[in-house]
Structure 1
Amino acid sequence: MAESLAPPFDQRVAHQMTSISSLLVAPGQHRAYDIILEEVNAFVDLFDFAYAARAYRVWTAITDLVSAPGGPGSDELCELVAREAATDWLVVDVCSRESIDAYFDRWAVRTGLTNEN
């Protein structure tokens, strides 16, 4: 059997994705932009593991809907897209690399990112 060249998967990445997603879909007055900014840096410590960099890029691309120069500057769009990404993540089978790959492939397209780990 050939050895996989993919970086190892660490459940902490899935846990952090689930944590952010749960906060984003929870009822309340919390701004999606603020939630993402408060939580996204946890992925930096996990960059050696599969999906951590992709997760970081997806969430920061979503915050760019508010803060990127030349971007739409739209809190409403950020809220909508963040909650869609969160809801989508919460149905991912975190034990299946195929399911996780499919999630990040979809959101790479949705956010205009490349398809890299």
Structure 2
Amino acid sequence: MEDDRLERRFLAAMTALSRLVLTPQGERTYDIAMDSAGQFITDFFNCDHGGAAYAIWMEVSDYLDDPRGPMTEQACEEVGRKVATEWLAVDQSSPESISDFFTRWRSPTPWPV
């Protein structure tokens, strides 16, 4: 029962973060990822995809701050918006749909934009 509640909170956190990324004239995607990703380790690590959620949002931030990447605001924004848009399209009542999302975003090919 507690696990189900934690999983629902995890899904809500992913949804809230995604909506924030897609908010027009909102914060930079980089700042949102940096400020919000930690919760997936501290609060949701024991969830089915807590660690994967953290990794995805840190990879989004890498588009701006990793010297091996494009290091552009535009690339970070584009990928962050793509992750957020795809997350909001996930059928959250389907564990398979949720797993498919995290599988699709697991360590993408280097620096796709």
Separation (CA, whole Å) in 1 of partners of 2:70 and 2:26: 22
Moved over 2 A (4+): 109-112
Query: Structure 2: which 5+ runs fail to align?
Result: none
Letter paired with 1:31? R
Determine what percentage of the aligned residue pairs are the same residue.
36
1:111 Cα deviation from its structure 2 partner: 5.7
User: Match for residue 107 of structure 1?
Assistant: 105
Separation (CA, whole Å) in 2 of partners of 1:111 and 1:34: 23
Superimposed CA distance per residue, residues 35-74 of structure 1 (whole angstroms, 9 cap, x where no aligned partner): 1111111111210111110000011011011111322211
Query: Structure 1: which 5+ runs fail to align?
Result: 1-7, 113-117
> Which of the numbers 28, 33, 38 marks the counterpart of 2:35?
38
> Which of the numbers 60, 69, 73 marks the counterpart of 2:67?
69
Change (3 A) 1:111 1:30: farther
Contact 2:40 2:50 in 1 (8 A): yes
TM superposition score normalised by structure 2: 0.85
The 3-state SS of whatever aligns with 2:75 is: helix
> Which of the numbers 89, 93, 100 marks the counterpart of 1:91?
89
Letter paired with 1:56? Y
The 3-state SS of whatever aligns with 2:98 is: helix
User: Match for residue 23 of structure 2?
Assistant: 26
TM superposition score normalised by structure 1: 0.82
Superimposed CA distance per residue, residues 86-111 of structure 1 (whole angstroms, 9 cap, x where no aligned partner): 00000111111100011111111536
The 3-state SS of whatever aligns with 1:110 is: coil
